[in-house]
Amino acid sequence: MSLIHLNDFHSRHEPVDAQSAATCRIAGEGDGDGAACLGGSARLAGAIRAARRAAAAEGRAAFAFDAGDQFMGSLFYTHYRGDAELAVMRAWGCEAMALGNHEFDNGPENLARFVAGAPFPVLAANLDTDAEPALKGKIRAGRLFERNGARIAVIGLTTEDTPNMSSPGPRLRFTDSAAAAERAAAAARQAAGEGAPVTVVLLSHRGLAADLRLAERVRGVDVIIGGHSHTLLANGLPGAAGPHPVVVDGPDRPVRIVQAGAHGRWLGRLDLDLGPDGRVVAHGGACRPVGADAPEDAEVAALVARLAVPLEETRRRPVARTAAAFGIDDCRTNECALGSLLAEAMLAAVPVAEVAIHNGGGMRAGLPAGTVSLGDLLTVLPFGNTLATLRLRGADLRAAIENGLSRAPDPSGRFPQVAGMRIRWNPAAPPGRRVESIEIAERGTPDRFAPLDPERAYRIVTNNFMRQGGDGYTVFRDQALEAYDGGPPIEEAVAPYLAERSPLAPRKDGRIAAAR
């Protein structure tokens, strides 16, 4: 059989830059230096259709699965709240989907509407819906498929951290994934009948590290199709974190783990040869870019074009008012009012975070005086970046700030705009030794600050470009104790913050101060 798989699509219906996931119409800093465009729903649907045909030609039963996080990431989601994603998934023939954390971003009722329209099962074995009327009885643990003699049990898992990342409401319970997977696998084998061969596939929206741990612990699992960490597992592709598949020795059998990056830029196909007992005896296939050579599906191309028509009205939607214009002239050399506003909005969007850092070059325009539209905000933040979170020791945070200040006095896109901290620095000192002091705001008392503790791990919110090492912030990539890059688009977090505080006036408070 062949398992065709994708994950973390995040509403990217238009092609995106191969590296940054910014819509390909945009060029500039942080956009992958003009690298090829990948993905888009029309190409992705064409690639899935081609993979099905290729599998059929080889006599393999083909299944197409999604490991979660279809929601959130573009104006298609902002406007349609999942209807655009569902229409495209129906067109390419999704057969089962795991719930990702972003499927809960607009509450259980919005998710329930999506599930009601889905012609495929939506799965999460570790989600207890009994106390939530909107979803009770609508989310399944798994589904047993039979095709061409192959019998596979597909079981969904959702990250237990969803309540900290999304808005599932107070009545849903996210339970232990390992225990839920073991129960669901046993139930599937019982449902198939005593002695019947069953191949167990987990659709796991929990991240590669969590999947590796689960594979080592849980009996009876053959394959894990992963998501959440946006990890590219591929053979010979730039940026791949490992092979397709990664093979882990489980307690009773080898477990194949796959994941196809994010944003529809890659599509995985895992070919499996099965023994009489349903266990995998050999594997093949690959995870490949969905590039210009992928044939566009004409039906899906027309669908996306129709869906895009109302988005211009969404771009014109007012989000805030300003008492005066916010410029960007000094955002690459000093504290700037726009950078501070943006960082404060990011910090407010992640209540557990203590510090926010955004690169000065990540802002490409100022805000006008008067009415600010969503389109204005998208012009300020054109790269399609998402909120990213990490934990970082104080000494590494200091190193990150040293990187941000290293190009002064020359303007640099890496210059840090911050919230939740105060920085004193000496532009005349050698790069790497410019920070004189860093203070972190105390929780609940933002006007009180304590010196940075080199050993303490701080919770930081930034953008995914920086978290992955962009603009020289390799410490965010290499020293993060915990990291998550799949937060909402930054403009989605910033817009409500601006609206609540209108009218806005530019101000600076000396949070980044140079020695005189």
Q: Which two tokens stand for residue 242?
A: 């490992």
Residue 313 belongs to some domain of the structure: no
Residue 74 belongs to some domain of the structure: yes
- Examine the domain organization and report whether 221 and 293 are in the same domain: yes
With 0-12 / 13-18 / 19 or more C-beta atoms within 10 angstroms meaning exposed / middle / buried, residue 382 is buried
pLDDT value at 420 more than 80: yes
CATH number of the domain within which 280 lies: 3.60.21.10
Question: What integer is the mean pLDDT of 508-512?
Answer: 96
Provide the β-strand partners of residue 154. 143, 201
Q: Which two tokens stand for residue 133?
A: 């009327």
Q: If residue 271 lies in a helix (H) or strand (E), which one and from where to where?
A: strand 266-274
Q: What is the pLDDT of residue 344?
A: 97
- Examine the domain organization and report whether 179 and 32 are in the same domain: yes
Range of the domain at 156: 2-308
The amino acid that residue 98 corresponds to is: A
- Examine the domain organization and report whether 169 and 195 are in the same domain: yes
Cβ atoms of 435 and 405 within 8 Å: the answer is yes
Q: Which two tokens stand for residue 461?
A: 């919110």
Q: How far apart are CA 123 and CA 126, in angstroms?
A: 9
Provide the β-strand partners of residue 450. 440
CB atoms within 10 A of CB 453: 13
Report the Cα–Cα distance between both ends of the chain, in Å, rounded: 69
The larger pLDDT score, comparing residue 119 to residue 383, is at 119
Q: Look up the pTM and report it.
A: 0.83
CB atoms within 10 A of CB 305: 11
- Examine the domain organization and report whether 372 and 491 are in the same domain: yes
Domain boundary among 253, 273, 308: 308
Question: What integer is the mean pLDDT of 385-396?
Answer: 96
Q: If residue 4 lies in a helix (H) or strand (E), which one and from where to where?
A: strand 2-6
Q: If residue 163 lies in a helix (H) or strand (E), which one and from where to where?
A: helix 162-165
pLDDT confidence bin for 25, thresholds 50/70/90: low
Helices then strands (H, E): number in the chain? 15, 27
At which residue do the structure tokens 């949070």 appear? 511
Q: Which two tokens stand for residue 416?
A: 């840090």
CA 428 to chain centre: 39
Q: How far apart are CA 44 and CA 48, in angstroms?
A: 6
CB atoms within 10 A of CB 7: 33
At which residue do the structure tokens 């009180």 appear? 448
Residue 297 belongs to some domain of the structure: yes
- Examine the domain organization and report whether 382 and 471 are in the same domain: yes
Q: What is the pLDDT of residue 27?
A: 36
Residue 91 belongs to some domain of the structure: yes
Which is it for strands 246-249 and 254-258: parallel, antiparallel or unpaired? Answer: antiparallel
**Which of 187-201, 233-247, 412-426 has the least mean pLDDT?**
187-201
Half-sphere exposure of 107 (CA within 13 A, CB side): 5
**Which of 161-175, 241-255, 396-410 has the least mean pLDDT?**
161-175
- Examine the domain organization and report whether 375 and 265 are in the same domain: no
- Examine the domain organization and report whether 92 and 240 are in the same domain: yes
Average predicted confidence (pLDDT) for the chain: 93
Q: How far apart are CA 207 and CA 229, in angstroms?
A: 4
> 59 in helix, strand or coil?
coil
Q: Which two tokens stand for residue 477?
A: 């990539």
Residue 187 belongs to some domain of the structure: yes
Q: How far is CA 301 from CA 37, 119, 430, in A?
A: 16, 21, 54
Q: How far is CA 87 from CA 72, 76, 474, in A?
A: 15, 12, 39
**Which of 30-39, 155-164, 197-206 has the least mean pLDDT?**
30-39
- Examine the domain organization and report whether 39 and 122 are in the same domain: yes
Q: Is 55 left (phi over 0), alpha (psi -120 to 50) or beta?
A: alpha
Domain boundary among 308, 338, 361: 308
CATH number of the domain within which 486 lies: 3.90.780.10
For the chain, helix, strand, coil in percent to 5 are 30, 30, 40
The tally of domains found in the chain comes to: 2
Q: In what order do the strands lie in the sheet with 254-258?
A: 142-147, 150-158, 199-205, 223-227, 254-258, 246-249
Give me the percent of the chain exceeding a pLDDT of 90.
83
Residue 107 belongs to some domain of the structure: yes
Eight-state DSSP code of residue 235: S
Q: What is the pLDDT of residue 167?
A: 85
- Examine the domain organization and report whether 279 and 345 are in the same domain: no
Q: If residue 247 lies in a helix (H) or strand (E), which one and from where to where?
A: strand 246-249
Question: What integer is the mean pLDDT of 210-221?
Answer: 96
- Examine the domain organization and report whether 427 and 492 are in the same domain: yes
- Examine the domain organization and report whether 296 and 323 are in the same domain: no
- Examine the domain organization and report whether 73 and 27 are in the same domain: yes
Domain boundary among 308, 331, 346: 308
